[in-house]
Structure 1
Amino acid sequence: MRIIITGGTGLVGQHLIPRLLELGHDVTVVTRDPDKARARLNPAVEVWKGLYERENLDGYDAVINLAGEPIADKRWSAAQKERLCQSRWKITRQLVTLFKASQRPPSVLISGSATGYYGDLGEVVVTEEEPPHNEFTHKLCARWEQIASEAQSDHTRVCLLRTGVVLASHGGMLGKLLALFRLGLGGPAGTGRQYLPWIHIDDMVNGIIWLLSHDSLRGPFNMTSPYPVRNEQFAHTLGQVLHRPAFIRQPAAALRLAMGESSVLVLGGQRALPKRLEASGFSFRWFDLEDALHDVVR
């Protein structure tokens, strides 16, 4: 297949692209910084600077849309919220325009989203049918999904990735926590009772390839392990894996002061289950959090 990827230099993209190349696919990455992308990616990957010079997507079989500014790197000022939204909405809208301009559009668009789509639902077991709460993360993800879904047609199916916390050895939430936990300064956030939907990077990559390969699949998919854990269990398990204590609780008030509204990312959560992905026949490799953390920390 000839595959276009946006956000190819991000956490998921950098693990996904080598697998796609191993499987014999041709990969083109869309980026704002071609020099940086070429330095990070396999020389076999074609690199485009944006989509402005493209008139259509004829000749390509699939698009995987992973672009978006990291959501937890800065406080959510009004300007930052707008950047978070536009970094996702704008390129997705460009892709949809190119799909519609194509005589032979790609057969599938796999587009990013997040479990933040549901908002903070506490103890509720969340599947793809669960109605969301009306929070900023929902507004961001719902509009992102709505734009991507406009590419759906008789020729194109659209899959939406409602992704949890991706566990990988470098980058993502775990990359930020490791240094703190290795110093013995880690612990639960707030009450620690909030659920953390997680997924091992291998299962994330395999899940995307599964959706790419199965023509009957479309719509939203929770990209999360079948066994979400509470924040306090995650902290305790990470401490065990690193052979460090993990009992220094981060008070909710301090997190709200430091992070502002974005503190909902750690003080809230979703007990999200991958109902539709499992029903399609996909098998997870990493069920147990301790095993998954051992693997990525190693």
Structure 2
Amino acid sequence: MRILMAGASGFLGTRLVDRFVADGHQVTRLVRRPPRAPDERQWNPSAAQLDPALVAEADAVVNLAGAGVGDRRWTDEYRRIIRTSRVDTTTTVAITIAGLPAEDRPAVLINASAVGWYGDTGDRAVEEDAPAGEGFLADVARVWEAATRPAEDAGVRVARLRTGLPLDRDGGMLKPQLLPMRLGVSGRLGSGRQWWPCLSMADFLDAVAFVLARDDVAGPVNVVGPAPVTNAEFTRELARQLHRPAFLRVPAVALKVALGGFAVEALSSSRVLPGVLTRAGFQYRHPDLPSALHAALTT
């Protein structure tokens, strides 16, 4: 399959490119700078510039583009970047797809979204039919997902990946926790009662490949593990696997000082279940936290 991909240089994108290539697909990566490799093509989503011929050549488009939400303090300017980096890219892709003749459109658009769609769910478990919640990331997710509408209205299968927390020792939310935990100075965040929708990196990659191959999977797809855990449970299991204590607690006020606006999201609860994947028969390699964390720490 010929796959045109945006966001291929990010934490998840680089791993997904490797997976697609290993599966025998041909991947063309969209970059904003001048191309430096044979598989790169330039675009400028900020100016809504994407060569329609590139899209017409693709069997599938995968868009994971977006600025990191946990990389920096949330100033007003960075909030704008978080939003526009997602909405501009998705809008450009979807409108370009819709503008092609029907016979030239790719069969599927797989577009990133996030479990932030649901806001803080507390102890309430939610699946894909739950409405959008409240808060900054929920607001971003609403307009992000809505930006795929032109492609969907044009008859293209669109899957919106509401991704949770893929575990990998080299990135994502796990990496910054490893050194403090190894030094014995880490612990649960706030109350520790907030739910975290974790999954192994292998299961994330398998899930995207599954959605790509399944013509009957469309709309929102929760890409999360089947057994969400609380932050306290996550912290205890990570400490156990690293053979370190986990008796400390990071107060909510300290997080707010260190992280600014992102602290609200770090302390929120996302008890999100993979309803669509489960009903479609997706099989997890690592269906629980101990196996998912072990995979992240040893592979």
What range is the shorter-chain TM-score in? over 0.9
TM-score w.r.t. length of structure 2: 0.93
Give the CA RMSD over aligned residues.
1.5
TM-fit CA distance, 1:121: 1.2
Q: Deviations over 1:45-71 (max 9, x none)?
A: 611122535134212100110000000
Distance in 2, matches of 1:133 and 1:259, equals 22
TM-score w.r.t. length of structure 1: 0.94
Query: Kindly, what percent of the aligned residue pairs are identical?
Result: 36
Distance in 2, matches of 1:61 and 1:138, equals 30
TM-fit CA distance, 1:154: 5.6
The aligned counterpart of 2:241 is 241
Native 8 Å contact 1:106 1:155 kept in 2? no
TM-fit CA distance, 1:132: 2.5
Unaligned ranges ≥5, structure 2: none
Native 8 Å contact 1:72 1:265 kept in 2? no
The aligned counterpart of 2:39 is 46
SS at match of 2:249: coil
Most deviating of 145-154 and 190-199:
145-154
TM-fit CA distance, 1:214: 0.8
Native 8 Å contact 1:29 1:48 kept in 2? yes
Q: Which amino acid counterpart does residue 187 of structure 1 have in structure 2?
A: G
Native 8 Å contact 2:98 2:154 kept in 1? no
Distance in 2, matches of 1:264 and 1:110, equals 28
The aligned counterpart of 1:269 is 269
Most deviating of 15-24 and 139-148:
15-24
TM-fit CA distance, 1:261: 1.9
The aligned counterpart of 2:294 is 294
The aligned counterpart of 2:99 is 101
What are the equivalent positions in structure 2 for 1:218-257 lying under 5 Å apart? Answer: 218-257=218-257
Q: Are 2:144 and 1:144 equivalent residues in the alignment?
A: yes
Distance in 1, matches of 2:11 and 2:191, equals 29
Distance in 1, matches of 2:147 and 2:233, equals 36
Moved over 3 A (4+): none
Most deviating of 54-63 and 157-166:
54-63
Distance in 2, matches of 1:270 and 1:245, equals 26
**Aligned pair count?**
291
What are the equivalent positions in structure 2 for 1:35-74 lying under 5 Å apart? Answer: 38=37, 46-51=39-44, 52=49, 54-56=51-53, 57-74=55-72
The aligned counterpart of 1:283 is 283
TM-fit CA distance, 1:33: 4.1
Q: Deviations over 1:216-266 (max 9, x none)?
A: 110001100010000000011001111111222100111112222210222
The aligned counterpart of 1:41 is none
Q: Which amino acid counterpart does residue 222 of structure 1 have in structure 2?
A: N
Q: Deviations over 1:73-116 (max 9, x none)?
A: 11212111100001111111110121022121101000001101
Q: Which amino acid counterpart does residue 90 of structure 1 have in structure 2?
A: D
Q: Are 2:182 and 1:185 equivalent residues in the alignment?
A: no
Distance in 1, matches of 2:292 and 2:136, equals 30
Distance in 1, matches of 2:131 and 2:95, equals 29
Native 8 Å contact 1:105 1:155 kept in 2? no
Most deviating of 281-290 and 108-117:
281-290
The aligned counterpart of 1:42 is none
